[in-house]
Amino acid sequence: MLDFGYSRPDLEGEVLRQLSHSDSMAIAGGTELLNWIRLGIAAPAFLVDLAGLPDRSNIALNGEWLEIGAACTLNMVGEHPAVREHAASLASACLQAASAQVRNRATLGGNVLQRTRCSYFRVEEPAPGPCNKRSPGSGCAALSGANEQHAIFGWTPDCVAVQPSDPLVALTCLDAEVEIADHSGHRWMPVAGLHLTQQEAAADGGDPARLETRLAADELIRGYRIPAVTGRRSTYVKVRERVSYAYALVSAAASVRQLEGGDNEVRIVLGSVAQRPWRLLTAEHGLQGQELTTQNVAAAVERAMAGARPLSTNRYKLRLARGVAVRAVLEAAQR
């Protein structure tokens, strides 16, 4: 593996100062970063270990918010009673991710920053085929190649990758906010605004293949907060080619809450259909005042999927997404 320096500061200010050097990267669980270094996706000269920062592994209900520190591992989040009660979708998503061993190291702060599993991207350098993420301007092999795992929304001809994180989909569905520290202080932003599709990156004037999140290289995720909404029931449904230990083909996070007067408030977010979680707003509006039956939910989701742009080998995702969204909503409604 590439040679690099290493430090483990115990003050956030020192971490940020070291990260301000362009050849430094932060390491938390290391379950993505070490593989990036092995493949040549990243080549930092210096790693700043975040494990020295205190108080980043707390999970607590604090008034109207469920607060989760960025250093919490996926197993910690998935098995915590407060998360199971107030953010069931997130607990489920965490425990359906990866393996027990990976979940004992992967952190919630790092997990949302993982990158695509596209097989043209995840190769040892030098990449044998075109990949605009690995080599700007080289092209996108997946666009007309093996794109079964790739996007049906938000892609451009430069890149058709999806964001594979399970917890990210649940956090989006639950209206979570993420706290980001930078050199001038810290700020909260909706998790839903953290990631960009390729189209959104291009609209922002960025490289559609390489601008993936709004987190700058010298910024740090401190933690999350999720509104503790009374009566909200949520689920996470993950469809994979095998029973366990695989990335999603398509997934869905859903929440249902009964409002005063008996109407249901529904949230549906799809995973692995775009380079960010894909909220089905049109379906949610379409279901207002409606009974949550298979027929009604399927019809609403079908209309919301009308703008999908499947690739040459991933048309199956349209039907799978409909099925997964319906299942997630109905399971949430029955909790």
Partner 1 sequence: MIGQTGAENGASSHVVTTRFALNGEQQQSAAAARTTVLDWLRESAGLTGTKKGCNEGACGSCTVLVDGRRMNSCLILLAQVDGADLTTVEGLADSDGTLHPVQQAFIDHDSFQCGYCTPGQIISAVACISEGHTGSAEEVREWMSGNLCRCAAYPQITAAVLTAAHPINPEA
Closest distance of CB 24 from partner 1, Å: 6
Residue 21 binds partner 1 (CB under 8 A): yes
- String marking each residue 224-243 x if it binds partner 1 according to CB under 8 A: -------------------x
Binding piece for partner 1, criterion CB under 8 A, among 41-49, 53-61, 172-180, 204-212: 41-49
Indicate the residue among 10 and 241 with the shorter CB distance to partner 1. Answer: 10
Identify the DSSP state of 331: H
**Separation CA 163–CA 169 (nearest Å):** 10
Cα–Cα dist 237/270, whole Å: 10
- 182 lies in the binding site for partner 1 (CB under 8 A): no
Taking each helix axis as running N to C, give the angle between helix 88-95 and helix 166-173, from 0 to 180 degrees, rounded to the nearest 10: 170
Which residues have a Cβ under 8 Å from the Cβ of 327 and sit 6 or more positions away?
237, 252
What does the alpha-carbon distance between residue 13 and residue 295 come to, in Å, rounded to a whole number?
54
Report d(CA 29, CA 49) in Å as an integer: 9
Count of residues interacting with partner 1 (CB under 8 A)? 39
Residue 260 binds to partner 1 (criterion: CB under 8 A): no
- Using the rule CB under 8 A, give the single segment among 13-21, 131-139, 150-158, 161-169 that binds partner 1: 13-21
Quote the least distance from Cβ 73 to partner 1, whole Å: 9
Pick from 128, 241, 245, 315 the residue near partner 1 by CB under 8 A: 245
Backbone angles phi, psi at 3, to 5 degrees: -80, 135
Q: Which of the stretches 39-47, 138-146, 278-286, 319-327 binds partner 1 when contact is defined by CB under 8 A?
A: 39-47
- Which is it for the CA torsion 283, 287, 293, 296, positive or negative? negative
Closest CA to 87 of 232, 261, 297, 292: 232
What 3-state class would DSSP assign to 66? strand
- Minimum distance between the CB of residue 117 and partner 1, rounded to whole angstroms? 11
Which member of 16, 26, 27, 127 binds partner 1 (CB under 8 A)? Answer: 27
Among 63, 244, 262, 306, binds partner 1 (CB under 8 A): 244
Pair of tokens at residue 5: 């320096």
In the region spanning residues 98 to 137, those forming contacts with partner 1, defined by CB under 8 A, are 98-102, 104-105
Strand partners of residue 66: 61, 226
Segment 44-103, which members bind partner 1 (CB under 8 A)? 45-47, 49, 51-52, 98-102
**48: CB partners within 8 A, 6+ apart:** 7, 8, 9, 15, 18, 19, 24, 25, 26, 27
Nearer to partner 1, 230 or 244 (CB): 244
Which chain residues interact with partner 1 by CB under 8 A? 1-11, 14, 18, 21, 23-24, 27, 29-31, 34-35, 38, 45-47, 49, 51-52, 98-102, 104-105, 243-245
